[in-house]
Structure formats: C-alpha cells, structure tokens
Amino acid sequence: MSGVAAYGGAFGPAQAERLLWRAGFGPRRGEAQALARLGLDGAIHALTYPGREKLVGHAPHDDKGRPLAPYDAWGHDHLWWLDRMIRTSRPLVERMALVWHDWFATSNDGVGSQRLMLNQNQLFRERGLGNFHDLLLDVTRDPAMLLWLNGSDNSKYSPNENYGREMMELFTLGAGRGYGEEDVRQNARALTGFRNDWKPNVGDVDFRYDPKYHDTGVKTLFRKRGAWTWRDSCRMCVTHPDHASFFVQKMWSYFVPTPPDAATASGLQRLYVQGKYEIRPVVSAILKHPALYTGPPMVKSPALYTAGLLRRLGRGIDTTSWVWLDSLAGQQLFYPPNVGGWDDTRWLDTATWRGRWWIAQEALDPYALDPGKRPEPYDGAKLIQAALLFWRNPTLAAPSTAALQQFTHNALGDAKSEKWKQQQYPPMVLNALRHLIATSPEFQAA
C-alpha cells in the first residue's frame, strides 16, 4: 500500500462539484448529483476509466454559423479545444490534455502549424493517463516539439541544447536538481538525429529520426558512460532518483493549490515508482486526497472559467469572441507564454481581470432580459433569488451575498422617484445580478 490518505467525509453534490472542477471543467446540469450518487471511489473510477467519447450538444460554429476550421483559421484551434472542454463526456481526459499542454508547453508562435499543434494535442489526450515514460518518448519525437525546441536542428555536426536542457529542467527533474551543465551538453548529444524537410507552400514535413545525424560516441550522462541515444535519454531522466519527487510535486500542483505534506509526497512517490511510472494511479490518489475536498479553493484558469460558464449555461461555441476574450484574460490555448507554461499566480490580477468581466458578459448576452418587454418584480430579495436560480443556486459566501444585497438596494432605491424606472429597472438589475454572480469570488475559484 502507498500509505496516501483518502478523504473519508461526506461525498455529496458539493464535493462532487469541486471534483468536477478540479478533474474537469465544472458540472453541466445534474452532473454533480449523478457523480455524488456513485460515492467517492465510484466517482474517481468513472473519471479515470471513462467510456468512449460522446460529445454532448450542438457542433461548434463561428458567428456566421459556419463550421470551425481549426487547421486553418486563426483562433479556431482555441475554439475547437474549448468546444471539447464544453461538450466532452470524458472531462478528466480533456483536463489531462490541458495539464500536459502546460507541462510540455509548446507554442504555435514557434511551431507555425495549427495542424501540428492539434496533432500534439491529440497525443496528450491519448497518453494523458498512461505511462509517463511512454509519454516522454512520444513528446521527444513529436513534430511540434521538435520545431519548438529545435530538436530537428540538433545533429552531431551542430548540437543544440534547447530540448535537452528543458527535458531535465522543466519536464522531468526540476531546475538544478540532479544535473549540471555538462549533463545538458551530453544529453544534447544523446538526442541528436531527428530531422525534417521544408517545402515551399507546404512547410515543415517528413519528420524522422536519421541515424546518420546521430552522435554515436560515448557520453557521460548522470555519471554513467555509454553510447546513449534519445531513448536512453528519456529512460535515464525518468529513472533518475530526483524524477519521482519532481513528478509528484508538479502533478499535485495541477489539482491542489497547497503543497502536499511530507507523508503524502512520499506515499505518492512510492505509488509512482512501484507502478513503473504510470500516471493514472497517482492522479487517482490525488483526486481522493482529503486536501482536495477540505483545502482552500483553487483559482480557475481563463479557459477553465469560460468552459465552466458555458457548461453551466448549456451553451456551446457559437462565436469567435472567446479567442480574444480568453487571451485578454491571460490564456490563449496553443500559445503559452514560454516553455515554462502559464504562470497561474497571474490568473487574477489587474492586467487580466477585465477579460474575465467581459467573458461573463459575453456568456450572458443571449440570456439578457429586455427591460421594455420583460417585467420583473420591484423587490430586491426576489431579484436576487431569481439571479441565483438562473445559476442553479450556487453557494455564495456572506461577503458576496452582502454585496449583491447592497447593489440591489442602491439600484432599486434610485428608481423610487419615477414609475417608468420602477418598471424597467428590475430586469436591468436582474441582468446585472447575474453578471455579478458570474464574476464573484465563488465563480473564480473552486
């Protein structure tokens, strides 16, 4: 047994909803209740061993009703993936694809091909809960990664250290842990041999491993001598004594905002190593851990926030606005800011908050009430109740509830003087209350 603690408290809709936010993109109508009925173990099993994908809802389209063109049209790659997040029947599979996109952060700014980026995305989807060593092998030879970190420019004639360095620093060991500059140079030599061609009007094609460009000499990597190849490089990084602790700490950070205690970290490392670097058992143990259910809420990334609002509303992708809105909030999919991925400490700051406000506005726009056509009661308590019902009665903390009450009191107070205001202000206040709830602290984190 790994000795990793498991949550033993009540597992009702509230706990199931938090689980769906951490292991997916929030609940659609009725999903939290259905998951809660399975119990904790049943819920984790359903998420980690899902059936075949079945996308729920209408196919995505742009503002003019045309199908998306994710390989060609700017921003449609973002929309295509956001649609998967919204309509997926396998939320953890899709969430793990997002985890690996950040872990092995690759940007189309350097790749220049939405097709190659989407192919990498599918790799993350297929390998996301499998074996980390196998995933690392596939990422190392993935065309998007080969372009992004110059893997196909790395030959025995001119070694390029980019991928070899990041492979250790960001992907398997952590900065300054278990390797030095000489290991970076030797690892670059081991990784030589990948090539690709470039054709006018076509771009980068024919990605392959060419032994003629591989440095066959003896390398000393992690104090071990041998004629190491790229496969040896992957194996040696994953079996390195410092890898398991790095893997556990990083994987944990995607699901729980506070660090694991020493006993938990040690137990998860044993589970990972004894399981021969399988990802699913570690993720399952994290999703069962008490810290996920009793710890503080976790701030949602812009893509997660957007997908969650649309899932809650039952709305699909019907506009291209989500591309620039999510970018304004700090996250355009397939364009992480650098090889280190997104900085999740910046999800809520003065530079990105306006984007979240506009995301909520865009999400609510089709449901906005017309003050001239939709009468509502001139009653603050009833308006707040209606706004909460619209969002399926989320639990709000006392400060958020007080802010809604104060806003409603002030807005309706201004309408006392004239009858037309008493008729038209209530629906406008209700529109505003829906928006305020969507941008409340409780909707920004879960």
Tell me the per-residue pLDDT of 408-420, one tens digit each, with 9 for 90 and over. 999 998 888 788 8
User: Can you give the pLDDT at residue 324?
Assistant: 98
- pLDDT of 170 higher than 70: yes
Amino acid at 102: D
- Residues 6 or more apart whose CB falls under 8 angstroms from that of 279 comprise 96, 128, 129, 130, 131, 132, 135, 251
Query: If DSSP codes are grouped into helix, strand and coil, which group holds residue 418?
Result: coil
- pLDDT of 423 higher than 80: yes
The partner residues of 275 in beta bridges, in order of sequence, read none
Q: What is the pLDDT of residues 328-341, one digit of tens each?
A: 999 999 999 999 99
The model's confidence at residue 373, banded by pLDDT at 50, 70 and 90, is: confident
Number of helices (H), then strands (E), in the chain: 23, 4
According to DSSP, residue 379 is labeled -
User: Can you give the pLDDT at residue 189?
Assistant: 98
The partner residues of 197 in beta bridges, in order of sequence, read 205
- pLDDT of 139 higher than 80: yes
- pLDDT of 58 higher than 80: yes
Strand 224-226 and strand 219-221: the pairing is antiparallel
φ/ψ region of 213 (left if φ > 0, alpha if ψ in -120 to 50, else beta) reads: alpha
User: Can you give the pLDDT at residue 227?
Assistant: 98
Amino acid at 209: Y
Mean pLDDT across the stretch 11-27? 98
User: Can you give the pLDDT at residue 229?
Assistant: 98
User: Can you give the pLDDT at residue 419?
Assistant: 82
List the one residue out of 8, 12, 17, 19 whose CA is nearest residue 92: 19
User: In whole numbers, what is the pLDDT of the chain averaged over residues?
Assistant: 96
Cα 288 from Cα 112, distance rounded (Å):
40
The model's confidence at residue 61, banded by pLDDT at 50, 70 and 90, is: very high
Number of C-beta neighbours around residue 47 at 10 A: 23
Question: Residues for the chain: how many in total?
Answer: 446
Q: Which two tokens stand for residue 412?
A: 């309706």
Phi/psi for 445 (5° steps) reads -140, 155
Q: Report the sign of the C-alpha dihedral through residues 330, 335, 338, 339, in that order.
A: positive
- pLDDT of 208 higher than 90: yes
User: Can you give the pLDDT at residue 59?
Assistant: 96
Range name among 31-40, 202-211, 435-444 with the lowest pLDDT average: 202-211
Cα 18 from Cα 378, distance rounded (Å):
35
Cα 60 from Cα 82, distance rounded (Å):
10
List the one residue out of 327, 320, 314 whose CA is nearest residue 66: 320
- pLDDT of 3 higher than 70: yes
How far CA 389 is from CA of 374, 424, 426, in Å, comes to 17, 21, 16
Cα 389 from Cα 382, distance rounded (Å):
10
Q: What is the pTM of this model?
A: 0.96
Cα 226 from Cα 215, distance rounded (Å):
12
411, 417, 419, 420 alpha-carbon torsion, rounded to 10°: -60
According to DSSP, residue 269 is labeled H
- Residues 6 or more apart whose CB falls under 8 angstroms from that of 134 comprise 127
Q: What is the pLDDT of residues 79-91, one digit of tens each?
A: 999 999 999 999 9
Mean pLDDT across the stretch 233-257? 98
Rg (CA), the chain: 25
Mean pLDDT across the stretch 40-55? 96
Q: Exposed, middle or buried by CB within 10 Å (0-12, 13-18, 19+), for 36?
A: buried
Cα 353 from Cα 162, distance rounded (Å):
34
Mean pLDDT across the stretch 208-231? 97
Phi/psi for 288 (5° steps) reads -95, -10
User: Can you give the pLDDT at residue 204?
Assistant: 86
User: Can you give the pLDDT at residue 201?
Assistant: 79
DSSP 188-229: HHHTTTEEEEEETTTEEEEEEE-GGGS--S-EEETTEEE---
Mean pLDDT across the stretch 256-283? 98
User: Can you give the pLDDT at residue 120?
Assistant: 98
Residue listed under structure tokens 């890898």: 243
Cα 19 from Cα 37, distance rounded (Å):
13
Query: If DSSP codes are grouped into helix, strand and coil, which group holds residue 88?
Result: coil
Cα 32 from Cα 17, distance rounded (Å):
5
User: Can you give the pLDDT at residue 49?
Assistant: 97
- pLDDT of 287 higher than 90: yes
List the one residue out of 408, 326, 376, 317 whose CA is nearest residue 55: 317
Q: What is the pLDDT of residues 93-133, one digit of tens each?
A: 999 999 999 999 999 999 999 999 999 999 999 999 999 99
User: Can you give the pLDDT at residue 436?
Assistant: 98
User: Can you give the pLDDT at residue 202?
Assistant: 78
- pLDDT of 1 higher than 70: no
